[in-house]
Structure 1
Amino acid sequence: MKRFSASLTRTKLKRPLDSNHPLLCLVDSCKSMDQIKQTHAQMITTGIILHPFAASRLLKHLTISPLPYPLSYAHLVFDQIPSPNLFIYNTIIKAHAPTTHSSHNSLLVLRSLLRNSSPLPNQYTFVFVLHACCYGLGVLEGEQVRVHAIKLGFETNVFVTNVLIRMYANRGSVEEARRVFDWSTERDLFTWNLMISGYVGSSDLVRAREIFDRMPERDVVSWSTMIGGCVQVGLFTEAMELFREMLLTGIAPNEFTLATSLAACANLVALDQGRWIHVYINKARFKMNERLLASLIDMYAKCGEIDFASKVFFNEHSPKRTVWPWNAMIGGFAMHGKSKQAIDIFEQMKVTEIAPDKVTLLALLNACSHGRLVDIGRQYFKSMSSIHGIEPGIEHYGCMVDILGRAGLLKEAEEIILTMPMAPDTIIWGALLGACRIHEDMEMGERIGKLIREREPNHMGCNVLLANMYSESGRWNDAKDLRDKIEISGKKKTPGCSSIELNGTFHQFLMGDRSHPQTKQIYLFLDEMAIKLRIAGYAPEIGEVLLDLNKEDRETALSRHSEKLAIAFGLINTAPGTTIRIVKNLRVCRDCHLATKLISKVYDREIIVRDRIRFHHFKAGSCSCKDYW
């Protein structure tokens, strides 16, 4: 819009303007767009809009008020100001910067400012425009702005440096962010934290740790970023070590630190440490919010304490206004095979009118899979788009393949894959191949295996699964040929690994492991345990040994599986009646499942095993999965 004439401006600005002018006070009290427009009209008719202070007061209210005023109106006000000062320019640039759809206006206003040559931009001008380049704009525009900042001597300014590091890191140019960091002559704590965050965002924990170790001082953000980064890439033990070190330095954790540390405990099944964090939250009187509550529920559920997770969820003081705690509880019940409870929670969630999201439905379908609830699973899958307005993703289709495949409905599972609206990946075909193995459908298994290998000739999971199927059906030559191909490819099969926590220390075991300091005791105990189990009726599932060995060698191989070593270690080192918790990275085999049921009965222990698929609660000779996993 055309600006008012310069002569009129000069006339009006001769009048002094009191900061307590009634119209200016009225601006601050506006509560709606209609009131703003009425006040703006009076400011125009009285002429005070031509005063920079009055214009900036109106513009400031429009851009920082919690009321949702349209930015287009603020920009219209800006265009009517005859001679904007730098504060006004910066206000409108800042207002446009964080909004993806209008961030380009920040750049346009900067260009207008540079063309006018007066006033000159200051450090805040460049910070606001570069902030827009972090989100709505891109690196190319940011580098153009950076050139102007250099010309005006602002590149070494710590605020400009910081936003440049953020811009490059956010846009994936972490190496350029590092160059800015290395060239900077001024650094504050925020500079160091931004560089760590950049490396964490690119999953480069080695270089993030290098920057972290060089920091002259650290705050809660520094520690939390490193802890979160470790959790992000699966370095859970390192995350817990950092958390302990942080507490020793005297820095109090924040909500994010606690939530990520609880995630590390959940993945390590470090129940004692998770409980300690829960006590700390209560003693430090942290305000329990939905994210922290969800982290606590998830930790207890993944540590095998599903009943306590339920108590935390149903606590009357637990906030449940968002979907996160509900998802954690549904997911917790699902992984423990408590399908009915998971469905009950979902139905309660609907009553509270909290809208489910994709995670909710994924957890619900998992619950149906573990509970053999085929028809209910079909209903929930259909309801995603028809009732909840959520288009199923490939992971939801994968759940349906799992539900149908586990139930032996292999043809229907294949039909789901062939009619998906997106191209199936090797993961979803692999789920069907796994179902073929469970139900011993060699014909379909070979066909699916061939299809996967055509897409990815060296797909390790497919080749191993198919080789195992050949072994189970006695086709030793076919199994050997496939294993030879795996060896030639140079890829290594993920070895079975089981871990157990004892007094805050994690002990890991591989199949046939002899590296543990207590190896001699463990193997002697295994021999004694084998005798007791045979008396109790144990007959080894030698079909689980997928090598062409004699009966005795197969039984020996079975007795050395990683979970049996971990259980033996737990029985040796804990008091009678103590619950033993084991984590395994692969699916529990049939023989270990059978043996663990008998161990729980013979030794009168509850044994909780979390494998790659779900939780198994072994007690008094039976398992919570009812032999369906």
Structure 2
Amino acid sequence: MFIPSHFVGKSVGRLTKKECIQYLKNCKSMVGLQQIHSQIIKIGFHQDIDALDKLIVFCADTSLGNLPYAERIFNYAEYPSLFIYNVMIKAYAKNSSYRKSILLFDELRIEGLWPDNFTYPFVLKSVAQISNVSLGKKIHGFAVKTGAEFDCYVCNSLMDMYSELGQLEYVQKLFDGMPNRDVVSWNVLISGYVKCRKFEEAVNVFYRMRSENAIKPDEATVVSTLSACTNLKRLDLGEEIHSIVRDEFELGFTPIISNALLDMYSKCGHLSIARQMFDEMPVKNVICWTAMVSGYVGSGKLDKARSLFERSPSKDVILWTTMINGYVQFNQFDEAIALFHRMQIQRVKPDKFTLVAILTGCAQSGALEQGRWIHGYIEVNRIKLDAIIGTALIDMYAKCGCVVKSLEIFNRMNRHEKDTASWTSIICGLALNGQTDKALVLFSEMKRDGFRPDDITFIGVLTACSHGGLVNEGLIHFESMKRNYQIEPKLEHYGCVIDLLGRSGRLDEAEEMIERAPNEDIEIVIPLYGALLSACRTYGNVKMGERMGKKLAEIETKDSSVHTLLANIYASANRWADVTKVRRRMRDAGVKKEPGCSSIEIDGNIHEFLVRDTSHSEIQDVHSMLHSITKVVTDLGELQFEEDI
């Protein structure tokens, strides 16, 4: 039995309440607590409120305690206090048992207890985590009835919940109605706008905070506002905040603020300033190494990024993922895979973002075997198939042509594991593989299940209609974007519709659609003319092809494909003089036709071939095999010809 030394020799039966509480105060482990608890039960103090408070506080502690044991004590308590309820609600929320936390909130009210300002924050956090807006509004209503809404602590928690749920109008309304605000109130409003990608509004709140001159910004204020500046690519605002920190901020350049500034300068393209800050830092943690590597990666300077990566004294999973993602982003998949394998050798456990980066690389390069290996790794290591991992797997298999496998993964995900990106990925995958009917059926299911399509979803839907020749249905979906979902069609959507109309021979309507497309930058409409030129060639419409060709000549595009299409249109009409003119214009303008490229995956390695490229190490064997296959095919063709005669 666990008994402190100054109680040795006393009879256990004579322990007092004061001595029991002292035991609990001095307890340092669950083993000791269980021994003390057994003695408390024996002497009949197990329902004493002070003893229960101490027992549950210790057991609910994430570092020393045992939550299931706390749960058992709580369940046997005859009259648990509000304090005990608050401790358990907080413990459940911190343990990601969000629904249990909310159930306890309901239970304490049934028991006749009134929540206080310590009850609401973790209940509201739980509501935000399960994304239940209606429940959040109900709890907000209860807080209003009890007057808790006017407590600054509770109001800040309500604002944070609504910002997590994307309900910014409620966040702003609560903030404006607060009789007293603290720095946390301002920080929650700024970070809420940042979370919802309303970066201009976030910066405006920061300036409002300074103009009202009531509360001084703290570290969290500066970091959130710098994040907004970074996303806006507003170097001028970032530099102004840098000056404010230097001249006015009492804490000065803390490591967190320095890292945020470094990240801002890197992502705004001012790598020289970022590097100067980095080099001048007296102490560098892995976060600043990651920010600097990320800056080089974002600018395409992979050699400098890798050099800095290798110099970093400590490498966490985020730094590894940043470098791997850089190689994927710039189509250096072999380097990405090599670094991933090295990461495993050094026993750094990849997170889901590392795996998504590799799966994205597999999708881009068609590396099916590597993708399957990553999928196996996910299953062997029992990594949860959430929306992020599931979407990446769906995309990889679809782009590698295994759409059945994509559907299998999608169907394995339950409703709570799916999001708009998951639905979009499978719809686009089916469309890409020509399965029009299935893509459109899933689009209907997506809407029925309450998921709101985004602009990328509509690219998949329009592509499916184009491949299936569903012209009228495609036009209906296109018009519904703005009418039903307030999504302004982008160039890609116009391109899909022009392709849809062009494939069906409705060339005049396709030309009208080009006129409707946004054309602030004339260069960006070139693909639309290219799509229509392709249709002109298919349907032999030389007159329209010439008209498109003249418009492209005015733009002076360097895109070889549109020049080639126009030349082919003239060739199909036997207008060889015009073909010569197009090719002469290409030569004079320095336009070169991009060489064709193909790739194949063998034993997990990607082999890429360009037209007239002889640099492959086994090119002689490739040519020899090609010659052998050609001879066999030729012989078979001659044999078939003789049989037909």
Task: Give me the TM-score of the superposition, normalised by structure 1.
Answer: 0.69
2:611 is aligned with what amino acid? M
Structure 1 match to 2:117: 27
The residue identity in structure 1 corresponding to 2:560 is M
1:263-342 correspondence to structure 2 within 5 Å: 263-315=360-412, 321-342=418-439
The secondary structure found in structure 2 opposite 1:465 is helix
Deviations 1:104-158 (A, max 9, x none): 4444545777x99xxx987667556655655689544543443353346855532
For residue 166 of structure 1, what is the amino acid of its counterpart?
Answer: D
Distance across 2 between alignment mates of 1:42 and 1:461: 65
1-side partners of 2:454 and 2:428: how far apart?
13
The Cα shift of 1:322 comes to 1.7
1:611-622 matches, cutoff 5 A = none
Judged with a 3 Å threshold, the aligned counterparts in structure 2 of structure 1 residues 470 and 198 are, in CA distance, closer, same or farther, namely: same
- Contact 1:497/1:511 (CA < 8 Å) preserved in 2? yes
Contact 1:398 1:428 in 2 (8 A): yes
**In structure 1, what is the Cα distance between the partners aligned to 2:221 and 2:486?**
43
Alignment match, 1:572:
none
Local SS of the residue matching 2:320:
helix
Tell me if the contact between 1:170 and 1:198 (Cα under 8 Å) persists in the aligned partners.
yes
Find the aligned partners of 1:136 and 1:38 in 2 and give their Cα distance. Answer: 41
Structure 1's unaligned 5+ residue stretches are: 1-19, 44-54, 81-87, 540-597, 599-629
The DSSP-based 3-state class of the residue aligned with 1:509 is strand
2: CA distance between counterparts of 1:78 and 1:201?
A: 44
Instruction: Kindly indicate whether residue 511 of structure 2 is the aligned counterpart of residue 414 of structure 1.
Output: yes
Are the structure 2 counterparts of residues 197 and 34 from structure 1 closer, same or farther at C-alpha, using a change threshold of 3 Å?
A: same
- CA offsets, 1:510-545, max 9 Å, x none? 234444344344334333433433455499xxxxxx
Counterpart CA distance in 1 for 2:596 and 2:436 is 28
1:17 is aligned to none
* Corresponding position of 2:4: none
How far is 1:428 from its partner? 0.3
Match of 2:245 among 134, 149, 152: 149
Confirm or deny: 8 A CA contact 2:150 2:178 kept in the other structure: no
Number of aligned residue pairs: 496
SS in 2 for 1:27: coil
Q: Distance in 2 between matches of 1:528 and 1:65?
A: 68
Shift in Å at residue 411 of structure 1? 2.4
Contact 1:231 1:263 in 2 (8 A): yes
Does residue 1:97 correspond to 2:195, yes or no?
A: no
Number of the residue aligned with 1:442: 542
Contact 2:302 2:326 in 1 (8 A): yes
Partner of 2:594: 494
**Cα contact 1:93–1:128 (8 A) shared by 2:** no
Instruction: State the alpha-carbon separation in 1 of the partners of residues 265 and 605 from structure 2.
Output: 40
How far off is 1:225 after superposition?
Answer: 1.6
Q: Secondary structure at the match of 2:116?
A: helix
Other-structure match for 1:461: 561
Query: Which amino acid in 1 is paired with 2:462?
Result: L
- How do 1:184-583 residues align onto structure 2 when only pairs under 5 Å count? 184-315=281-412, 321-420=418-517, 425-537=525-637
Q: Which amino acid aligns with 1:244?
A: H
How far 1:299 moved relative to its partner? Answer: 0.8
Q: CA deviation at 1:300?
A: 0.9
User: Could you give the per-residue CA deviations for residues 145-202 of structure 1, whole angstroms, max 9, x where no partner exists?
Assistant: 4335334685553222112113334545444333322222221111111222233344
- Separation (CA, whole Å) in 2 of partners of 1:393 and 1:171: 25
Distance 1:206 1:317, change over 3 A: same
Cα distance between partner residues in 2 of 1:410 and 1:76: 57
CA distance in 2, matches of 1:200, 1:273: 24
Aligned residue type for 1:453: A
* 5+ residue gaps, structure 2: 1-82, 87-112, 121-138, 194-198, 641-645
In structure 1, how many angstroms separate the alpha carbons of the residues matched to 2:288 and 2:212?
A: 30
| Equivalent pair of 2:427/2:439 in contact (CA under 8 Å) | yes
* C-alpha distance in 1 between matches for 2:219 and 2:394: 46
Shift of 1:71: 5.4
Give deviations 1:285-305, integer Å, cap 9, x for gaps.
111112221111111111121
Letter in 1 for 2:425: A
Higher RCO structure, 1 or 2 (CA under 8 Å, sep 6+)? 1
TM-score scaled by length of structure 2: 0.67
Return 273-282 or 481-490, whichever deviates more: 481-490
**Shift in alpha-carbon separation, 1:400–1:150, aligned structure 2, 3 A:** closer
Rounded to whole Å, the distance in 1 between the matches of 2:478 and 2:222 is 50
- Percentage of identical aligned residues: 33
User: Secondary structure of the residue that 2:599 maps to in structure 1?
Assistant: strand
Counterparts of 1:317 and 1:122, CA distance in 2: 42
Following superposition, the deviation at residue 387 of structure 1 comes to 4.6
Contact 1:365–1:377 at 8 Å: present in 2 too? yes
The Cα shift of 1:505 comes to 1.8
Q: Secondary structure at the match of 1:291?
A: helix
Quick one: distance in 2 between partners of 1:442 and 1:121? 66
Inter-partner Cα distance in structure 1 for 2:242 and 2:377: 46
Aligned residue for 2:117, secondary structure, equals helix
Letter in 1 for 2:116: L
The 1:457–1:271 alpha-carbon spacing in structure 2 relative to 1, beyond 3 Å, is closer
- Compute the RMSD of aligned alpha carbons: 3.7
Contact 1:27 1:61 in 2 (8 A): no
Partners of 1:131 and 1:513 in 2: how far apart?
46
CA change 1:538–1:393 in 2 (3 A) is: farther
Query: Residue type matched to 1:452 in 2?
Result: L
Q: Is the 8 A contact 1:102 1:136 kept in 2?
A: no
SS at match of 2:544: helix
How far apart, in 2, do the equivalents of 1:367 and 1:356 lie?
15
Deviation per residue, 1:9-64 (Å, 9 max, x gap): xxxxxxxxxxx9x9998222355367368657998xxxxxxxxxxx7x56765665
Higher percent of residues as helix:
2
Find the partner of 1:177 among 259, 263, 274: 274
- Please give the per-residue CA displacement for 1:538-577, whole angstroms capped at 9, x wherever unaligned: 99xxxxxxxxxxxxxxxxxxxxxxxxxxxxxxxxxxxxxx
Structure 2: which amino acid aligns with 1:150? Answer: R
Distance in 2 (CA, whole Å) between partners of 1:404 and 1:65 is 46
Displacement of 1:432 in angstroms is: 0.6
